[in-house]
Amino acid sequence: MYNALVEAFRAAQVASADAFARVSALAAQVGAKAVVVPLHVDHPGEFRRFLRRLVASLIDRASNEFGIAGAPVSIDETRIPVNGYPNIWEAIRAGETPDLDRYWRVLAERYEHCGRALACRQMAETLAASLQLDLPNAVRRFTKVTRLRLKAPSVATAVRPMRRIAVEAHAEVRAALLALAAFAQDAGEPALAGCLRQFDHGEAFGPQQRRTFPGLDVLQYNEYWELRFSAALGERLLAFVAQHLSEPAAA
């Protein structure tokens, strides 16, 4: 399938080059040899760029397909040798045309069975890091709620009391929220999952502002956000993280 697309693109390149070559030939025929300067089109470069985009889209598709809905498995394609090159990017850089259908089969073989477990583990790792579960007071249990802390450093905005997530923390907070959403979906709380997916973490907030979602309250402090799960849900989250972190990495 991918190889067919590569062939189609090659054909398009050849067809367009032919069309322009016919113009030059006509110009040469009428004796205006120097009159038409052939346009320079970098066909090999164009082809290489196309291959890179295609491989990126292939890997994107694989990580979506082999992961859990909402938590794509992150695929390390840099360790998969291709045609004697260390990885597929090096092969493309060297001017090879890798067999992409075969590459897809390799990815499928590697990730089809362990993909879901791997995605869960990656989710658990993300959550453990951003909830700082290695700190002694990371978790506090009350009768009705379980309180966790999400690391979220923020900076003051121009409008005085309002604050915003620091630039370098955006990616982590986003990843943590998406992982939580995926967990909620997995745990049978689609309402919470939907809310978390739509939660704009980059929005300015007043300190100690509270956001209320079904089964989860978020209190936004300066240096961290306090997550108050309903007790049962919080226990399930901790159990989820503990279970997937304790499993040995499959891949």
Tell me whether residue 32 or residue 166 sits nearer to another protein (CB atom): 32
Interface with another protein by CB under 8 A: which range of 5-13, 142-150, 186-194, 213-221? 5-13
Total residues in contact with another protein, by rule CB under 8 A = 33
- Nearest approach, Cβ of 84 to another protein (angstroms)? 24
Interface with another protein by CB under 8 A: which range of 22-30, 110-118, 126-134, 203-211? 22-30
Q: Which amino acid is at 47?
A: F
Tell me whether residue 30 or residue 158 sits nearer to another protein (CB atom): 30
Report if residue 9 touches another protein, rule: CB under 8 A: yes
Distance CA 163, CA 160 (A): 8
Tell me whether residue 61 or residue 105 sits nearer to another protein (CB atom): 61
Report if residue 4 touches another protein, rule: CB under 8 A: yes
Tell me whether residue 53 or residue 210 sits nearer to another protein (CB atom): 53
Tell me whether residue 88 or residue 233 sits nearer to another protein (CB atom): 88
Report if residue 23 touches another protein, rule: CB under 8 A: yes
Interface ranges with another protein (CB under 8 A): 1, 4-5, 8-9, 11-13, 15-16, 19-20, 22-23, 26-27, 30, 32, 34-37, 39, 50-51, 53-54, 56-57, 60-61, 64-65
